[in-house]
Amino acid sequence: MHVGTLLCALLTACVLLCASSAWGQELRTTASHNLYPRTLDLQLRQIIESPAAEVEPLREICAALLRDINDVVLHIERTPTEPYPYWERFEEALYALETLWKSWTVTDSVAEPYIPSAVALDEIVLALHRRAFIWHALLHAEAAEATPLTTLFGKSYDDIDRLMERTFAVRRYFIQFGSRLPVNRQTRQTWCDFLETQSWLNTLEASRQPVGHTVRLVSFSSSEIPVETLRTLSDRANTTIQRLDTPTFTNEQRSFLNHPVVNMWREELLSWSSDTIAPIHILPLIEQYEETGGMSDMRALARFVDQLSVSRTPEYRQLGENIRLQYGMANVRVFISNSLLNNHVPPTTSETARFRDTILSQPVIGRRQTETEITVSFIPHPTRVLVSVDVDIALETMSRTDAFATQLFNTGRTNVAARKQIELTERGFLTEPSQAQILDHRMRLVGMDTDFDGVPIISRLFRGIVRNQYDDRFREASTETQRTILRQVRGQLNRETEERLRPINERIRMLSQYVEDEFDLRVEQRASRTEENWLLTTWGICSPGTLLASTPPPATLPGAFADLKIHESLPNLLLSKLELEGKRGAVRDFKGMLAEKFQQPDLAASGENDNVELMFASYNPVVVRFVDGRVELTISIAALRLLGRTHRDFQVIVRYSPDYDSEGRLVLRRDGYISLINVREQVIIRAAFAKIFPVNRPFSLVPNMLESDPQFDYLTTGQSRIANGWFAVALVERE
């Protein structure tokens, strides 16, 4: 029995040894799962395994890219400080794939045959470029010499006390003398606020307090300070040193900071400066966020990027900047055509009215007829949204001037060209003072009455004197008349423009205030440009510690008057502000919260399962993805009480697709069955959520403005596109 047991043990050991040897061989040829781009791998394999005939030339390229991607990640994982020997091969395969992608891109006409694989290929090429950009920066950062966190392991609480004393001394210096030279003269920002001295003191005071729970200490040092405290103080020291070295400071500001008290503080901060993270740890966070798109993963990635951004090593900071470039693009883009604006410009108008004025100190009364034509044009600019309102005015007058014993009758014709420049900014529409010029001005004396008419000799003599005086002062009167016309035209154009823009600016202000108050988000204008027939304005709606779009939006199609494009990061960011992580309640409560938060009363409409109790998961509770031409909503639930039973830890996936209702209006309608993950009783749970998300209750994609305002009768929404994480919908002509 003893021998048999021994033989079994030896046999088991041999099997385990062989298995571990094989696993070790696999590890040497396959990159780690958490570093590997799993989503990109899946997309490439779908192309390789697709039966579509058009992907035949892609299969070999995609297979080669899979091998190259694995080699790149393996190299980064094992020898990140050495040059990558296969990079040229990887870039050649990427170039070949991109060449085919460009040949598939529909540019000439929307009537071109749709190639299903082209959408997937589009996402693959963009994802490959994104990874290549980051991998390059990562290899460069890993090869840099950095100051490790271990340099702080010898720090003690005496060092914290010394830093606290020097911070207090700097704060006192700033309070006494900083008001004479503020950091920013426009905002009057103080040095204490800019360098956060009070916040520094609060952090240091908290660091000196004993920790109430078990904290992992650095086992191989004599330091009593927890590692997390060292990280916090080091990151803050890095940030403060960067602010002290701000390159835009004036010589006067640099001289103010070149004070013994500040220099001693800087010296102490430098002793706390280090790099608290390893750049390679960014890859798992990137791949996890690419895979889920959830806010929990976005926050983790954003925190790491923030730490890179305050690193003491330039290469680390550059890596952080590269990631911000890739994951910090605008998440709202708006195209507006020139034809849309001109369709809503008032038509040519003709107006007749009496007027009273004073020219050369003489009262003038009469009647004028004004014809006004307005056009809107775009002023091409590479970085600004500029619009010009051009007004052409034809003015005809018949007037009478009363002078001493005389009445003069004149006719006049004047052509005026006026312009008002308008710019769209974060604060709304800003205007420049109106400009106007006289294109043509003609005045003619057509009649004269005097009190001496009928007196033979005196009448002719008096008329001659009046005529000579009129001729002498004609040029002066004409000039003053033109100045009066220009002043009136500019004033009227300024008033009318301001009156029209005031409610729009108020609406923009209220929307921005609503986003800030309800969701604690800020609205930032990003890259914008104006072309001859189109304007593009892009916006980033964000908050600290978040990322934005990472892919370019779908193209605007011909026939669109305007085009709105929203990245999936925006709805996820808005949902994250609901703080659903681990929240418990009834379906009715959550629907009411959504209706109130988003100001959409229809969301609170009563349903059959409003009394169902549920608790959201603490990780990515709700995620919105714009994929495969559909809106995909994934809900992660920790617990659900239904029909007396509790169901735990499962996911619900609901998909919506653009469709048209019976009246031809664009809507989002639930598409197909509701998918369930990790659920045993599929029928019961699916039936419950089918009532929460009924297929017969679509979401309208037609703004109320188009249906309630008669001037928009010719417009509707259409050309819906969902791709690369973007949802785009255009204003098109109603059929």
- The pLDDT tens digits for 446-469 are 888 877 777 777 777 777 777 777
> Model's pTM, two decimal places?
0.81
129 with 158, same domain? no
Whether pLDDT at 107 is above 80: no
Whether 15 is covered by a domain: the verdict is no
Whether 177 is covered by a domain: the verdict is yes
As to burial, measured by CB atoms within 10 angstroms (0-12 exposed, 13-18 middle, 19+ buried), residue 505 is middle
**CATH number of the CATH domain containing 719:** 3.15.10
312 with 448, same domain? no
Whether 263 is covered by a domain: the verdict is yes
Look up the domain containing 75 and give its range.
29-142
Whether 525 is covered by a domain: the verdict is no
565 with 502, same domain? no
> Which residue shows structure tokens 């009715």?
588
321 with 423, same domain? no
564 with 712, same domain? yes
Over residues 141-169, the pLDDT tens digits come to 988 888 888 888 888 888 999 999 999 99
Over residues 659-692, the pLDDT tens digits come to 998 888 899 999 988 999 998 888 889 988 888 8
pLDDT confidence band for 118 (50 / 70 / 90): low
171 with 111, same domain? no
Over residues 571-602, the pLDDT tens digits come to 999 998 889 999 999 888 888 888 888 888 87
Longest dimension (CA), the chain: 157
368 with 488, same domain? yes
| CA atoms of 163 and 201, how far apart (whole Å) | 9
Distances 642 to 124, 554, 676 between C-alpha atoms, Å: 42, 42, 15
Q: Where are the alpha helices (DSSP H) in 53-149?
A: 56-78, 87-104, 116-142
Whether 161 is covered by a domain: the verdict is yes
68 with 205, same domain? no
Which of residues 374 and 223 earns the better pLDDT score? 374
pLDDT confidence band for 266 (50 / 70 / 90): very high
122 with 208, same domain? no
pLDDT confidence band for 222 (50 / 70 / 90): very low
Whether 686 is covered by a domain: the verdict is yes
As to burial, measured by CB atoms within 10 angstroms (0-12 exposed, 13-18 middle, 19+ buried), residue 511 is exposed
Q: Where are the alpha helices (DSSP H) in 627-731?
A: 682-692, 704-708
Question: Which H, E and C letters describe 596-611, residue by residue?
Answer: HHCCCHHHHCCCCCCC
Whether 332 is covered by a domain: the verdict is no
Which of residues 129 and 106 earns the better pLDDT score? 129
Q: Could you say which of 107, 142, 177 is where a domain stops?
A: 142
Over residues 351-387, the pLDDT tens digits come to 888 888 888 888 888 898 989 998 889 999 999 999 9
Whether pLDDT at 19 is above 50: no
355 with 257, same domain? no
673 with 714, same domain? yes
Work out how many domains the chain is built from and give that number: 4
> Which residue shows structure tokens 């799993």?
38
pLDDT of residue 31: 58
Q: Could you say which of 295, 327, 359 is where a domain stops?
A: 327
**Would you say the C-alpha torsion 298, 304, 309, 310 has a positive or negative sign?**
positive
299 with 362, same domain? no
